[in-house]
Amino acid sequence: MKKSSDIMTKDLVYCLPDESVANVAQLMKKEDIGPVLIVDNEENKTLVGIVTDRDLALKVVGEGRDPKNTKVEDVMTVKVITSRAGDNVENAMKAMAQYQLRRIPVVDDSNRLVGIISQADVATRVDEPEQTAEVVKEISQD
């Protein structure tokens, strides 16, 4: 079985906790993505949270907050389910299914961000069609 580092995407989009949600929304639009990973700083890139387009819709728009004056740290999820780079991909797939996640960040032993595994990565890079189909089914359930 492959390791998480074998199938993860290494071209990451991330931002810092003190950025405005307006900037993050523009980044999401520009990159055509739903989640943005939040790191402590540019040097360490220690994962401290994640913010999704759904977070922005519910916690900013839904609560009537000003996107230009609301910081990412005020709306991000801080308890992020991750995979370790050296972990077996099967563990990442199980976590994705269990928590209904379409993507899971990959970190090193110091919790520094090194990649992300998406549902598409699993579907295209793991040669286990039955297990991949089960993961996609679990993720997609309401």
CATH, residue 94: 3.10.580.10
> pLDDT higher for 49 or 139?
49
Find out whether 96 and 104 touch, Cβ atoms under 8 Å: yes
Q: How confident is the model at residue 50 (pLDDT cuts 50, 70, 90)?
A: very high
* pLDDT score recorded for residue 138: 61
- Higher pLDDT, residue 64 or 2: 64
How many domains, in total, are found in the chain?
A: 1
Predicted pLDDT of residue 123: 75
Label residue 89 by pLDDT band (50, 70, 90).
Answer: confident
State the pLDDT confidence band at 130, using cuts at 50, 70 and 90.
low
Counting runs of H as helices and runs of E as strands, what totals does the chain give? 6, 6
State which H helix or E strand residue 122 sits in. helix 119-125
pLDDT at 137 over 70: no
The answer for residues whose C-beta is within 8 angstroms of residue 12's C-beta and 6 or more apart is 37, 113, 115, 116
Q: pTM of the entire structure?
A: 0.84
Identify which of 14, 17, 26, 1 has the alpha carbon closest to the alpha carbon of residue 88: 1
Range of the domain at 36: 4-140
Q: What is the rounded average pLDDT of the residues 41-70?
A: 95
